[in-house]
Amino acid sequence: MVPSTIITLDRFPLMSNGKVDRRALPPPESLTSIESQTEHTKPATRMEERVHELWCKVLHLKQIPIKKSFFFLHGTSLAFMKLYSLYQIEFGMAPDIVDCFRHASISEHAERLTELVSSTAGERYQAWSHLHVNCAEVSFAQSRIFLDEQIRFHSSNQNNISIYSLPLLYRLSEGSLSVQRLQQALRQITRKHAILRTSIQLDKVEENLTQCVQLNNAQDWFFYSTSIIDDDGMLENIFTNEMTDRTYFDVSAGQVARCHIVRRRSTVVIENDDFLSVGDWIIFNFHHIAFDGQSEQIFFDDLHQFYTQTHDLKFDDQEITLQYIDCKLN
């Protein structure tokens, strides 16, 4: 992985489970600062303009100098792969990826894309399709996480400590939120994203790991929990448990997502306990085998869509969605 910024520290700030406390890390130099300090050379050709638009989309910038390296602008290798896939979608082809890494400016990419588009040597990009497959071998990332958790940490003295939990804590700052509609929205999300109901199991016959998408039935694939607290100390303990307790997930059964509602005792209304009030908390917790940093924005975009919609999406609309298992087979 190519990092966007390198900062020297005497030592890493750690949380109770031994993972790095990201919130305690010093902030890197902002992209806004780089933008203001950099002399801009504007795109001179239509191809440079198209490439510039894609770079702005990936890096979330308004203007980018066409001679500066993608990595000088805090671009990561993960963001670079997103840019490369956009080239494939936009132009139907893309230059050699190693060449793009070595020559990582807008002008250089535009030059190579121009040559590729005007030639007949470029292989046309074929969009991946939903294969309607329910079982397949796991990806390398899935196997690494599964085996690391099953073997290395089961043999240690800390086998009850999870390092693959990704809890996201949110506080209701205004208005109210219906728990019933929240659960309906989460049900729609697991309906759309099969990875959130995918089990990882060892196939003893074939001697390999397989991923199997569980049926989208009436079962809630999110596990729900509710707590009532009197102070912030209780909230901290709850969040620590979400972060460290391995028993909260069962990857072999496809249980990889949780929703923990934390209510302040002063806001609980017995007559109408469906609604959360200002000051209440929600913890969405995911196992890393099904969720990563890039998943967060997708999850909350879908959560907003499904929570605010006034009608159910048809199943046919969901069937065409490209799934994680398709990426392994395409």
Give the domain CATH number at 87.
1.10.1200.10
Reduced to 3 states, what is the DSSP secondary structure of residue 161? Answer: strand
First vs last C-alpha separation in the chain: 23
For residue 291, give the nearest of 256, 251, 261 by alpha carbon.
Answer: 256
What is the pLDDT averaged over residues 194-217?
A: 87
Token reading at 20: 């790095």
Cα distance between residue 230 and residue 312, in whole Å: 37
Residue 152: the pLDDT is 65
Residue 142, pLDDT > 60, answer: yes
Is residue 325 within 8 Å of 136, Cβ to Cβ? yes
Is residue 254 within 8 Å of 219, Cβ to Cβ? no
Structure confidence by residue, pLDDT tens digits, 87-126: 988 888 888 999 999 999 999 999 999 998 888 554 555 5
Cα distance between residue 278 and residue 264, in whole Å: 9
Cα distance between residue 255 and residue 244, in whole Å: 16
Q: Amino acid letter at 276? A: L
Cα distance between residue 204 and residue 165, in whole Å: 27
Lowest mean pLDDT segment, chosen from 151-155, 183-187, 300-304, 321-325: 151-155
Residue 184 β-bridge partners: none
Please indicate, yes or no, if residue 234 is contained in any of the structural domains. Answer: yes
Query: Which element (helix H / strand E) includes 167?
Result: strand 165-171
Domain boundary among 64, 91, 118: 118
Does 224 lie in the same domain as 90?
A: no
Does 144 lie in the same domain as 108?
A: no
In this prediction, residue 315 has a pLDDT band, given cuts at 50, 70 and 90, of very low
Does 208 lie in the same domain as 169?
A: yes
Cα distance between residue 13 and residue 10, in whole Å: 10
Does 170 lie in the same domain as 62?
A: no
Residue 159: the pLDDT is 56
In this prediction, residue 169 has a pLDDT band, given cuts at 50, 70 and 90, of very high
Does 172 lie in the same domain as 67?
A: no
Bridge-based pairing of strands 135-137 and 165-171 is unpaired
For residue 321, give the nearest of 308, 307, 302 by alpha carbon.
Answer: 302
Residue 290, pLDDT > 60, answer: yes
Inter-residue long-range contacts of 149-153, CB under 8 Å, 24+ positions, other chains counted: 149/246, 149/251
In this prediction, residue 199 has a pLDDT band, given cuts at 50, 70 and 90, of very high
CATH number of the domain bearing residue 221:
3.30.559.10
CB atoms under 10 Å from CB of 283, counted, come to 21
Question: Who contacts 241 (Cβ-Cβ below 8 Å, separation ≥6)?
Answer: 248
**Structural domain of residue 60, as residue ranges?**
22-118
Is residue 324 within 8 Å of 131, Cβ to Cβ? no
Radius of gyration of the chain (CA): 23
Residue 125: the pLDDT is 55
Question: How far are the Cα atoms of 2, 6, 33, 61, 72 from residue 29, in angstroms, in the given order?
Answer: 17, 10, 7, 15, 12
Q: How many domains does the chain have?
A: 2
Does 155 lie in the same domain as 33?
A: no
Instruction: Report the side by side order of strands in the sheet with 281-287.
Output: 165-171, 281-287, 257-264, 222-229
Cα distance between residue 109 and residue 51, in whole Å: 7
Note the pTM of the prediction, 2 decimals: 0.68
Residue 293, pLDDT > 70, answer: yes
Residue 16, pLDDT > 90, answer: no
Is residue 67 within 8 Å of 107, Cβ to Cβ? yes
Lowest mean pLDDT segment, chosen from 140-144, 213-217, 267-271: 267-271
Question: How far are the Cα atoms of 40, 81, 102, 142, 159 from residue 153, in angstroms, in the given order?
Answer: 50, 31, 39, 16, 5
What is the pLDDT averaged over residues 234-249?
A: 94
Lowest mean pLDDT segment, chosen from 116-130, 208-222, 244-258, 298-312: 116-130
Please indicate, yes or no, if residue 8 is contained in any of the structural domains. Answer: no
